[in-house]
Amino acid sequence: MAGLSKTQLEHYLRRSYTAVDGLWFMKVEEKHGFEVALDIDREVWRVMAKIQSCALKSILADPAGDPPNLRKAFSAKLKLDGFRFRTRTSNSGFTVTIPTCPWLEILAKAGRQEFADRIGSAICGSEYPVWPQEFGDSYSLEFTSRICMGDKICRIDFIKN
């Protein structure tokens, strides 16, 4: 595409995606205050999770008709969003471990890390629980640690119901 490598294109799209998120939040905050912006952000990320999960279900669909599983789709989402992470599967479900958060890094660059706990809790707490719902509600989700709350890693447990 226009002489851009795949890596350059991914970087451009990810940067545009994160910039738009931050810009709209700041503009809503300027006009209506932080709490209103955060409430709207929660709503936006719940809808975004539905859009992303449906898109990845379609993209990752097996030609044999087997639906993609939650772990595979959620891992693809994190990878596309620029996260480094590990997944571990167990009899009770699977765990995602994230050692660094690109969204937290963006907040730090913008000088807004003092809001990291509130923004991170609002976004992740709104967005990530939608994923199991969109994959048939056979999992519940539990955050056992969060970088934005001062923990060393983010750990998300997807527990089979």
Write out pLDDT tens, residues 88-122: 999 999 999 999 999 888 888 889 989 999 999 99
Q: Inform me whether the pLDDT recorded for 64 exceeds 70.
A: no
Q: What is the CATH number of domain 6-160?
A: 3.30.1380
pTM for this model (two decimals): 0.88
pLDDT level of residue 3 (50, 70, 90 thresholds) = confident
- Residue 68 has what pLDDT? 66
Annotated domain spans of the chain: 6-160
Q: How far apart are CA 91 and CA 58, in angstroms?
A: 27
Q: Inform me whether the pLDDT recorded for 81 exceeds 70.
A: yes
- Residue 110 has what pLDDT? 87
Q: Inform me whether the pLDDT recorded for 49 exceeds 70.
A: yes
- Strands 93-100, 139-145: parallel, antiparallel or unpaired by DSSP? unpaired
- Strands 84-90, 139-145: parallel, antiparallel or unpaired by DSSP? unpaired
- Residue 67 has what pLDDT? 59
- Residue 42 has what pLDDT? 95
Q: Inform me whether the pLDDT recorded for 27 exceeds 90.
A: yes
Can you give the three-state secondary structure of 78-140, one letter per residue? HHHCCCEEEEEEECCEEEEEEEECHHHHHHHHCCCHHHHHHHHHHHHHHHCCHHHHHCCCCEE
**Are residues 27 and 41 in contact, defined by beta-carbon separation less than 8 angstroms?**
no
154: three-class secondary structure by DSSP: strand
**Are residues 158 and 141 in contact, defined by beta-carbon separation less than 8 angstroms?**
yes
